[in-house]
Amino acid sequence: MGSFFGNKVRISIFGESHGEGIGVVIDGLPAGEKIDFDELYAQMQRRSPGRDKTATPRKEADMPEILSGMVGDTLTGSPLCAVIRNTNTRSGDYGNILNSPRPAHSDYAAFVKYGGHNDIRGGGHFSGRLTANIVFAGAVARQILKRKGIDIAAHIYSIGNVSDTPFAPVGIPTDLVEKLNKSSFALVDESVESKMREAVETVRKNGDSIGGVVECIVQGVPAGFGDPMFGGVENIISSAVFGVPAVKGIEFGSGFSGSAMTGSQNNDEFYYDENGIVRTRTNNHGGALGGITSGMPIIFRAAMKPTPSISMEQKTVDLQTKENTVLSIKGRHDPCIVPRAVPVIESAAAIAVINLM
């Protein structure tokens, strides 16, 4: 039982890739807040498969239906439920995956956990499709946070060995936030796009896949939020972000590289800025000290493993015959989910932050 998140704003996610539909219940949202659905749908489009080149968001089959929690465009304060129908639930070519778990997928672990009763079609409840619910919840949360002066933006920090320019840890300009929030291939430096696409195209030709890193910034959260020990910024955000499939690592501020530094290098000195606000000149702490926000941007990077779905032949087991076997799944695979993961990571950050405040 783990498909829920949060203590103040509670999110409960349901659905399986090839069942009737997927959706999310969000309880604890403030009554009276208005939701801009065009903006919300635009966020959902950023995550949609095959939308990468599309400039105009289109409202179509994959859009959520609101069942409760709103009158017109206004939150009622009661649980908000959104449902997305699964329109195309033909199972396609899953080859022998019912018996032969795909390497690096949840198939085998889920088979053991659920005794083979889980819905394996399309990955079932473990499908990347379920992240549409995270984006929905995140898009709602972000609109509420934005009215409090909080911006969330992420970019493709790297794909394989190709890297974008990192965020300035002490904060990024508003127009960059806006550009990234609209992008389906979010980069600080757009000149690296071609190299990244090249790296993806190379693995795609081989039927292979590739991973990457997403960097995310949350700016505008005042100092003093978060709780010590297990209720801190890093605990809550990491809990949410590891809910995004394929994330295998997270670091805040200077993170792993900070662990090789000295204290005098890594410590961020305080000063009063021109508005009398306490700030730090560097942001190696990534916005959290003792788990509590410092008023500086919260900044983190999430490592995403390469998509486990590849077309190459792989060794696996046959759970029926109990013998070693070989698995080959033909068909179109998404060779790199990192670009589409950007709005999902932003959304995971949003549902974490709305629970911190």
| Residues 132-151 within binding reach of a copy of itself (CB under 8 A) | none
Q: How many CB atoms lie within 10 A of CB 96?
A: 14
Q: Please list the residues that pair with 66 across neighbouring strands.
A: 82
Query: Measured in whole angstroms, how far is the alpha carbon of residue 22 from the centre of its chain?
Result: 17
27-66 mask for a copy of itself (x: CB under 8 A)?
xx--xx--------------------------------xx
Q: Please list the residues that pair with 216 across neighbouring strands.
A: 154, 300
Stretch that binds a copy of itself, among 36-44, 48-56, 146-154, 222-230 (CB under 8 A): 222-230
Q: What is the total residue count of the chain?
A: 357
211 belongs to the binding site for a copy of itself (CB under 8 A)? yes
Q: Which two tokens stand for residue 52?
A: 């990468």
212 belongs to the binding site for a copy of itself (CB under 8 A)? yes
Looking at 153, 268, 342, 350, which residue binds a copy of itself (CB under 8 A)?
268
Q: Distance between CA atoms of 156 and 152, rounded to whole angstroms?
A: 14
228 belongs to the binding site for a copy of itself (CB under 8 A)? yes
Residue 182: burial class (beta carbons within 10 Å; 0-12, 13-18, 19+):
middle
Contacts of 126 (CB under 8 A, 6+ apart): 105, 106, 110, 245
Q: What is the Cα Rg of the chain in Å? A: 21
How many residues form the binding site for a copy of itself (CB under 8 A)? 146
Q: Distance between CA atoms of 98 and 110, rounded to whole angstroms?
A: 11
Stretch that binds a copy of itself, among 88-96, 164-172, 189-197, 243-251 (CB under 8 A): 243-251
**3-class state of residue 293 by DSSP:** strand
Q: How far is the CB of 75 from a copy of itself (least distance, A)?
A: 7
7 belongs to the binding site for a copy of itself (CB under 8 A)? yes
334 belongs to the binding site for a copy of itself (CB under 8 A)? no
Q: Are strands 80-85 and 65-68 parallel, antiparallel or unpaired?
A: antiparallel
Looking at 167, 251, 349, 353, which residue binds a copy of itself (CB under 8 A)?
251
Q: Please list the residues that pair with 105 across neighbouring strands.
A: none
Nearer to a copy of itself among residue 32 and residue 173 (C-beta)? 32
Stretch that binds a copy of itself, among 20-28, 37-45, 138-146, 175-183 (CB under 8 A): 20-28
250 belongs to the binding site for a copy of itself (CB under 8 A)? yes
339 belongs to the binding site for a copy of itself (CB under 8 A)? no
Looking at 99, 183, 238, 283, which residue binds a copy of itself (CB under 8 A)?
238
